[in-house]
């Protein structure tokens, strides 16, 4: 496995760990994990730390959506060919020969060797297949819709983010429940699951302003930026800085609306591996939003949280109490940066107060045992931290479509 993994120096412990549970896998399933490591900068580690058969289901789910996303991203496919492909993609899961060999994208391997992925999809239990096929169908239809139009209103922004990330949150939640590692309620509450995806996706879109506009992509909603500039790319002009920051802060405030739902969602989780999988990207996102808020660098370069900060977050975000503390800490950081003249000031202060109250409320109802983790969980957290250096070097690759499955 080791020489194929392309994300820098992955710790040898990881390789051994992967190898031990890969020995018992079929050749095609091993190939799927290989593709997972090659195409996912942030998810490979946390997916492989999931328990039992859920690990395989999420791995295949990721690869199916990565393949769909690769079709959406590929500018070399003409629209009259791409739209039917996106709409029909879910049907390819049951065609053992289907593949696509004309892609120019960097992750084209998942399309060229789609038969290996679809084979392992068909090997999954029916309840997992139903979830994956359904989400793939709904996402393909949504992607096709947005190929033909720009993100205009704030409502459309929510809709676009729902298609490319909210549906991922919903699908994952249904897989968690199908595996019986989590209660049926987790999979049923699609509103909360959708918020999990929207929070990650909006954070990525906000952070990746410069890279996206330089590549001719526009994901900031027109309803927001048109209040401050004639064209979205004008926000990068030095003389526009004050307007640009006003627009940025408006979008950060909108993203923060999802945090109360994130707190509720995470507090329902019971399985440790699922909790880590869900919580780590969310705390990364709030740390990233705090770094972006009122920060001119969003319009001048890449805004990233520091590596040390990220590793600390990964190692700490293993129980609800710690996650509450992290959310409270970054909400306070944002609060201290709110300027007296910012047009969104009142809205920002309001949502920060809601988050503070929500955190305090659910803190008080937490069982005290969540504060103490066994050494096994801590070593798992350290392994995650070692594994997740890839996470940090990512930039906009995932703002496009399902790279955001989250987590950034």
Catalytic residue annotation: 160, 207, 217, 277
**Token pair listed for 146:** 């947005």
SS3 state of residue 56 = helix
Q: Which residues lie below 8 Å from residue 331, measured CB to CB, with a gap of 6+?
A: 256, 259, 286, 352, 355, 356, 359
Please tell me the distance from the alpha carbon of residue 168 to that of residue 332, in angstroms, as a whole number.
29
The DSSP 8-state label assigned to residue 229 in this structure reads -
Please tell me the distance from the alpha carbon of residue 352 to that of residue 404, in angstroms, as a whole number.
24
Own/partner contacts of 211-217, CB < 8 Å, gap of 24 or more, are 211/302, 211/395, 211/396, 211/399, 212/396, 212/399, 215/396, 217/400
SS3 state of residue 295 = coil
The DSSP secondary structure of 364-396, one letter per residue, reads: HTS-GGGG---HHHHHHHHHHHHHTHHHHT--G
Residues 207, 399 contacting (CB under 8 angstroms): yes
**Token pair listed for 234:** 């004008």
Please tell me the distance from the alpha carbon of residue 220 to that of residue 403, in angstroms, as a whole number.
17
The DSSP secondary structure of 124-156, one letter per residue, reads: S-HHHHHHHHHHHHHHHHHHHHHHSS---SHHH
**Token pair listed for 289:** 């939003």
**What's the CA angle centered on 212, arms 207 and 216, to 5 degrees?**
160
């Amino acid at each position: 496995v080791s020489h194929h993994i392309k994300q820098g120096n992955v710790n040898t412990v990881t390789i051994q760990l992967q190898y031990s549970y890969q020995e018992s896998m079929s050749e095609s399933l091993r190939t799927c994990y290989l593709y997972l490591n090659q195409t996912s900068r942030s998810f490979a580690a946390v997916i492989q730390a999931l328990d039992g058969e859920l690990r395989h289901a999420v791995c295949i789910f990721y690869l199916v959506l990565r393949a769909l996303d690769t079709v959406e991203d590929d500018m070399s496919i003409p629209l009259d060919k791409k739209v039917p492909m996106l709409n029909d993609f879910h049907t390819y899961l049951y065609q053992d020969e289907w593949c696509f060999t004309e892609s120019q994208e960097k992750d084209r391997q998942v399309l060229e060797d789609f038969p290996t992925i679809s084979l392992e999809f068909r090997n999954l239990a029916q309840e997992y297949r139903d979830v994956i096929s359904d989400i793939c169908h709904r996402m393909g239809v949504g992607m096709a819709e947005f190929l033909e139009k720009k993100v205009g209103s704030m409502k459309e922004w929510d809709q676009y983010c729902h298609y490319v990330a909210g549906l991922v949150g919903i699908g994952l939640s249904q897989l968690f429940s199908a595996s019986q590692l989590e209660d049926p309620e987790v999979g049923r509450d699609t509103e909360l699951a959708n918020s999990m995806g929207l929070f990650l996706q909006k954070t990525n879109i906000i952070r990746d302003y410069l890279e996206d506009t330089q590549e001719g992509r526009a994901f900031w909603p027109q309803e927001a930026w048109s209040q401050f500039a004639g064209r979205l790319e004008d926000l990068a002009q030095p003389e526009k800085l004050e307007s640009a920051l006003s627009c940025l802060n408006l979008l950060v405030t909108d993203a923060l609306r999802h945090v109360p739902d994130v707190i509720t969602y995470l507090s329902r989780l019971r399985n440790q591996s699922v909790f880590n999988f869900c919580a780590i990207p969310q705390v990364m996102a709030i740390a990233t939003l705090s770094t972006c808020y009122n920060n001119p660098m969003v319009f001048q370069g890449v805004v990233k949280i520091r590596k040390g900060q990220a590793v600390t977050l990964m190692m700490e975000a293993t129980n609800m109490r710690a996650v509450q503390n992290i959310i409270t800490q970054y909400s306070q950081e944002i609060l201290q940066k709110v300027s007296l003249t910012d047009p969104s000031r009142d809205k920002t202060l309001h949502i920060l107060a809601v988050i503070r109250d929500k955190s305090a409320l659910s803190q008080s109802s937490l069982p005290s045992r969540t504060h103490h983790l066994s050494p096994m969980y801590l070593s798992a957290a350290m392994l995650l931290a070692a594994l997740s250096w890839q996470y940090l070097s990512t930039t906009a690759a995932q703002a496009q479509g399902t790279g955001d499955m989250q987590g950034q």
